[in-house]
Structure 1
């Protein structure tokens, strides 16, 4: 059986007041006949999530994102914790709801993948408890859950 190799797709990051701290984010993807299937949770790229099939163009030897071709149904949330000691608790709680998380090189910053079968409102309610206490802020970077878009 042939192992499919990951490729890196580069996403240009629009800058606003020095954020995000990079101009590009590289996301791992698996080649598919219809494009490239994103295989990790973005930290900074907007409007793209784990499982999305995207198109990309080769520019100077790099694959550069063009567009989402087929949404995968996952949603992506970015979280910054103001209390480092709560990061593990928050991530464990989100994982208990059925999400996966990826910790960035910044110990208090992580991204959250909300799979299609997970109730988005349960995740938002969980994060809101911490946000109301001033423990974190979060950003909805790519929301594909129907009920969150007003379709469900």
Structure 2
């Protein structure tokens, strides 16, 4: 595995970083995403994609999905006064994997292809109803 840099498009100061580095297996111009991204739209854990890093800075600006893994990706922001912690046991029991970026109160949630879609969707609805800010950059469930 190697770290791969993605250049990010910013809109209204979001995301709060200009690049995101993720782990990938690579064979030439074919990559397989090895971790859950926080800011890259259109890719979920295990997706295979093709890309050409920019020769000047090594960042990937564009990619093409070659093979979808079946995983979904959710981004959850904890607003002041709310914590995701009370929900984590249920999330883990559904097979979800959670990565945290505490500086921005942001969580990237991997939903494996094998997860119960009805149970996951019900949980995501409850989180939204509770007041969490949610985004679903890759939703295959």
- The answer, yes or no, to whether TM exceeds 0.5 is yes
Corresponding position of 1:141: 137
Deviation at 1:106, TM superposition (A): 2.4
Partner Cα separation in structure 1 for residue 80 and residue 122 of structure 2: 19
Deviations 1:125-147, CA, capped at 9 Å, x for gaps: 1122232132x1210011123xx
The 3-state SS of whatever aligns with 1:26 is strand
Deviation at 1:96, TM superposition (A): 1.2
**In structure 2, C-alpha distance between the alignment counterparts of 1:113 and 1:10, rounded to whole Å:** 20
> Which runs of structure 1 show a deviation greater than 4 angstroms over 4 or more consecutive aligned residues?
none
Residues 61-80 of structure 1: matches in 2 within 5 Å? 62=58, 64=60, 65-80=62-77
Report the aligned-residue RMSD. 2.1
1:91 Cα deviation after fit: 2.7
Q: Tell me, what secondary structure is at the counterpart of 2:134?
A: strand
Q: Per-residue deviation at 1:52? A: 0.5
- The count of corresponding residues between Structure 1 and Structure 2 is 139
Q: Is the 8 A contact 1:41 1:112 kept in 2?
A: yes
Paired position in structure 1 for 2:56: 60
Unmatched runs of 5 consecutive residues or more in structure 2: none
| Separation of aligned partners in 1, 2:34 and 2:124 | 24
8 A contact 2:6–2:59 mirrored in 1:
no
Check conservation: 2:29, 2:52, Cα contact below 8 A.
no
TM-score calculated relative to the size of structure 2: 0.85
Q: Residues 56 and 63 of structure 1 are in contact (CA less than 8 Å); yes or no, is this contact kept in structure 2?
A: no
State the Cα distance separating 1:83 from its structure 2 match: 5.0
